[in-house]
């Protein structure tokens, strides 16, 4: 007997996004690629080597694991100033293209370049997070890294379909947003004291954690603990702890029928008022609404 299934209803105003192109590229040492006017939202990341990329008016070094997400109509230049090949990958997403439109898997890189159905391609409001030039880290393994590599592989084989390309666009946009809101790091790139502290926190989320605990685990001073969190994780120690607790609470909301107060206790935030306030701040909605909009029964 099939049980009722509750799913989150799609937002009727969501754009009909589609992946228009994806590829790996190698830029030779000393090579410059001239300015291009790219009509897409583009995810760019570095696989190996190091180079300099200029997007609109800002420049950035792109090293292994670095990623950028760029706005519609961005101007971009590449320069490999090193002595090693610079290996980068890119995925181009058209935020809005009506289903059934004439379409070819290309992206306009030059002013005046003609693309089939190009006049129907449009930018769209992708929310408060996916705006402007965004920078982050593409950590392996992660949902975004798997999606990105799969998408490029699909396009290299050349057998992508419109339904696939639309589905991948939606998934990739959601994972980029999550990645920006929840900065990803690889423990391989972290100093050993920070790895020990993070492991300690993960194991004791339900318990009270003090700065002195972190100092003792990392065998470091309070100033050093705060500095390595800020440098490598981009936030203060207890901001990171709170995010971990709310992530665990989100998981429990969707995988158990525990009351919200019980979940708050289990993630180390026994003050229900503070838990509710913190959950809304980090997830953008109250815990009850998060559960009702995302919960499903199989």
Q: pLDDT (tens digit, 9 = 90+) per residue, 127-172?
A: 989 999 999 888 877 899 999 999 999 999 888 999 999 999 999 9
- This prediction's pTM: 0.68
Cβ-Cβ contacts under 8 Å for 145 (sequence gap 6 or more): 138, 139
Domains 18-181 and 187-294 share a fold: no
* Size of the chain, expressed as the number of residues it contains: 298
CATH of the domain spanning 18-181, picked from 2.60.120.10, 2.40.100.10, 3.40.50.720, 3.40.50.2300: 2.60.120.10
Q: What is the pLDDT of residue 42?
A: 97
> What is the signed CA dihedral for 61, 62, 66, 70, rounded to 10 degrees?
90
Highest mean pLDDT among 129-143, 170-184, 210-224: 210-224
- Evaluate whether 50 touches 62 at the Cβ level (below 8 Å): yes
pLDDT the model gives residue 6: 41
Give the whole-angstrom CA distance, residue 187 versus residue 220: 18
- Is the domain spanning 187-294 CATH 3.40.50.300? The answer is no
Q: How far apart are CA 187 and CA 80, in angstroms?
A: 28
List the beta strands (DSSP E) in 49-160.
51-55, 58-62, 66-70, 74-79, 86-94, 134-137
For residue 144, the SS3 value is helix
Whether the predicted pLDDT of 296 surpasses 60: no
Domain ranges across the chain: 18-181, 187-294
Q: How far is CA 250 from CA 82, 253, 266, 295, in A?
A: 44, 5, 12, 10
Q: Count other Cβ atoms within 10 Å, centred on residue 242.
A: 21
3-state SS assignment for residue 111: coil
Given a cut of 80, is residue 191 above it in pLDDT? yes
pLDDT at 188: 62
Backbone angles phi, psi at 206, to 5 degrees: -80, -10
Do residues 282 and 246 touch, judged by C-beta distance below 8 A? yes
Q: Where are the alpha helices (DSSP H) in the chain?
A: 143-157, 162-181, 192-203, 211-218, 222-233, 237-255, 260-266, 272-283, 287-294
């Amino acid at each position: 007997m099939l049980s009722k299934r509750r799913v989150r209803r799609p937002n009727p105003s969501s754009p009909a996004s589609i992946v228009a192109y994806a590829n790996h590229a190698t830029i030779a040492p000393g090579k410059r690629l001239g300015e291009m006017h790219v009509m897409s939202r583009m995810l760019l990341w570095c696989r190996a080597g190091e180079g300099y990329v200029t997007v609109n008016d800002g420049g950035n070094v792109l090293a292994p694991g670095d990623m950028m997400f760029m706005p519609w109509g961005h101007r971009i230049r590449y320069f490999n100033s090193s002595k090693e090949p610079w290996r980068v990958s890119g995925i181009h997403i058209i935020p809005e293209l009506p289903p059934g439109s004439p379409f070819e898997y290309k992206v306009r890189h030059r002013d005046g370049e003609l693309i089939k159905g190009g006049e129907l391609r449009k930018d769209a409001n992708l929310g408060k997070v996916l705006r402007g030039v965004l920078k982050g880290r593409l950590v392996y393994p992660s949902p975004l890294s798997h999606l990105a590599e799969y998408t490029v592989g699909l396009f290299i084989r050349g057998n992508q379909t419109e339904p696939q390309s639309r589905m991948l666009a939606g998934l990739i946009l959601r994972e980029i947003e999550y990645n920006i809101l929840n900065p990803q790091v690889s423990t391989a790139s972290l100093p050993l004291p920070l790895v020990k502290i993070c492991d300690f926190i993960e194991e004791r989320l339900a318990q009270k954690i003090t700065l002195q605990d972190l100092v003792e685990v990392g065998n470091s001073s309070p100033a050093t603990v705060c500095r390595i969190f800020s440098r490598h994780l981009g936030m203060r120690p207890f901001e990171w702890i709170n995010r971990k607790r709310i992530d665990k609470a989100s998981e429990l909301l969707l995988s158990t029928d525990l009351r919200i107060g019980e979940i708050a206790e289990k993630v180390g935030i026994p003050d229900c008022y503070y838990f509710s306030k913190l959950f809304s701040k980090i997830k953008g909605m109250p815990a009850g609404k998060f559960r009702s909009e995302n919960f499903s029964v199989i």
